[in-house]
Structure 1
Amino acid sequence: MAELSTVQPPESVFDGVVVPAAVETVARGRPLRPVWQNALGGLTYEISDVNARFFVKFAPSDSGLPLRQEAERLAWASEYTPVPRVVGTGEDESGFWMISEALPGRSAVDAIWRKNPEKAVKAIAYGLRQLHEALPVDGCPFDWGVEHRLAISPRDLSEADEIHRDIPIDVAWARATDPPPVDRLVVCHGDACSPNTLLDDDGEWSGHVDMAALGTADRWADLAVASWALNWNYGDGWEPLFFATYGIESDPGRIAYYRLLWDLGP
């Protein structure tokens, strides 16, 4: 993974968003398209080349975004499963950036798949099963288990789903600190929400993105959130198909626990 250190041009504005000077430098005059801006100021751009496409993610220095953490996890996971291959990283006083090769496919929440949710749900479940089967637990240097997550939790439900928002925090914390036994330890995605699965033009799973939280945990840590996110993106009623495609029976107790842990953050 190359560390990029460059003399940067002034910032410019593109489609109403200020393009960081570091991103301009990485683009080197190639076509640049803004793709995403999150609530913490993180930016993602697509760079088009003659022979390839790349994405550059930029995390401002004061954002707290775990972009360096994501680069480390992608570099490890790319040996085993389809994820973006990191080709460069860099850092200066303005922030940290990561350049990765584009994977084939579109997000599972692209308009074409919102119109065909059955295909999307099957691909999400199949892809998550493939991820869990492919990534080696014994060789994984990253942790996303309950103890780790509780240790860094902000213990805040103010932005939680409505099913958790009114639970007194001491009650929620008591539940969170009494986890169910581990069903099966796997390397989890860590943010298995629908947008982070990619589908090819035939609706087949083609890879995963946004893996800053990847680490070993009970597979239900992923399954509970991935199935929950279907409701947000495609409407109610898709969870049975998800679990059937993954090949597992729904487990209401573990689902409830890991959804609460998710809302307690991070």
Structure 2
Amino acid sequence: MSIPAADLPVPEKVLRLAAGATLTPVWLNSLDTATFATDDGRYIKYGPIDPESSRAEEAERLVWAGRYTRVPEVIEHGEEDGSEWLVTRAIPGRSAVDPHWIARPDTAVRAVGRGLRLLHDALPVAGCPFDWSVPSRIAGAADRGIAVPERLHSAPAVDFLVVCHGDACVPNTLLDENGSPLAHVDLGALGTADRWADIAVASMSTEWNYGPGFEDILIEAYGVAPDRERLAYYRDLWNAT
């Protein structure tokens, strides 16, 4: 994922959804799904139908999670001709990888760790209709033609079951101006799983965004000691699926 160039072409559907608002491209992922900010307080995510997590599935999870914690409010979503979109209301905060926070990595990393713990504490496992367990992830990968190595089919025993974010990489935490966790975005894979499935990915992603040396700082801010076995397993599973 990356911050796109300011002159990123705007699809016709996005122009129609913008309804005259000024658009600024803010994010582009590996599937060529682009996110645009509007000057009237919305975000428009548009791109090819994602075989792993559709915009309709993301909208469903946002609506559910929004009952318990701060996430973007869904305005509309849909699909046509092999593409899909999701329009949400903007939350006044900055991604943890905004240049402001890239320059302050220690503050950002600790905020992401605390924010992930707050998310896990806020979302109730009982009654959660979404699953992100190891068997469901392996089955989902198989549906997409990905053969997960046999050694990853046996996961460590669940340490603590939570409702995981599902893509807890650091860009998906928003921080307020004081460097406190404010909200989470991109919840398309949200579901119940061992908390280490999220912790492993969140801590691993610190190196991609801030450089080496921050992984254990995030885990400490979450409030647990590093579990090297579970960290290694869930990072391998992430990379394999």
Query: Map of 1:255-266 to 2, 5 A cutoff?
Result: 255-265=231-241
Equivalent-residue separation in structure 1 for 2:197 and 2:84 (angstroms): 28
> For residue 220 of structure 1, what is the aligned residue in structure 2?
196
Query: Map of 1:16-35 to 2, 5 A cutoff?
Result: 16-35=7-26
Deviation at 1:28, TM superposition (A): 1.1
1:205 pairs, out of 176, 181, 198, with 181
Decide whether the 8 Å contact of 1:155 with 1:173 is kept in 2: no
Equivalent-residue separation in structure 2 for 1:25 and 1:257 (angstroms): 44
1:144 matched to 2:132? The reply is yes
Deviation at 1:261, TM superposition (A): 0.5
Query: Map of 1:1-12 to 2, 5 A cutoff?
Result: none
Decide whether the 8 Å contact of 1:227 with 1:239 is kept in 2: yes
Deviation at 1:80, TM superposition (A): 0.8
1:237 matched to 2:228? The reply is no
Decide whether the 8 Å contact of 2:61 with 2:187 is kept in 1: yes
Decide whether the 8 Å contact of 2:76 with 2:88 is kept in 1: yes
Q: Any unmatched runs of 5+ in structure 1?
A: 1-13, 159-168
1:41 matched to 2:32? The reply is yes
Deviation at 1:189, TM superposition (A): 0.4
TM-score in terms of structure 1 length = 0.82
TM-score in terms of structure 2 length = 0.91
1:153 matched to 2:141? The reply is yes
Equivalent-residue separation in structure 1 for 2:143 and 2:12 (angstroms): 36
SS at match of 2:156: coil
Equivalent-residue separation in structure 1 for 2:92 and 2:38 (angstroms): 14
Equivalent-residue separation in structure 1 for 2:24 and 2:221 (angstroms): 35
Decide whether the 8 Å contact of 1:144 with 1:217 is kept in 2: yes
Deviation at 1:70, TM superposition (A): 1.0
**How much identity, in percent, do the aligned residues show?**
49
SS at match of 2:26: strand
Amino acid at match of 1:249: A
Equivalent-residue separation in structure 2 for 1:103 and 1:205 (angstroms): 12
Q: Which has the larger radius of gyration?
A: 1
Query: Map of 1:28-107 to 2, 5 A cutoff?
Result: 28-49=19-40, 53-61=41-49, 64=51, 66-93=54-81, 95-107=83-95
Aligned length: 235
Decide whether the 8 Å contact of 1:59 with 1:67 is kept in 2: no
> For residue 121 of structure 1, what is the aligned residue in structure 2?
109
Decide whether the 8 Å contact of 1:154 with 1:264 is kept in 2: no
Which whole-Å deviations, capped at 9, do the CAs of 1:159-202 have from their partners, x for residues lacking one? xxxxxxxxxx8xx7232011110001000000111111111111
Amino acid at match of 2:119: L
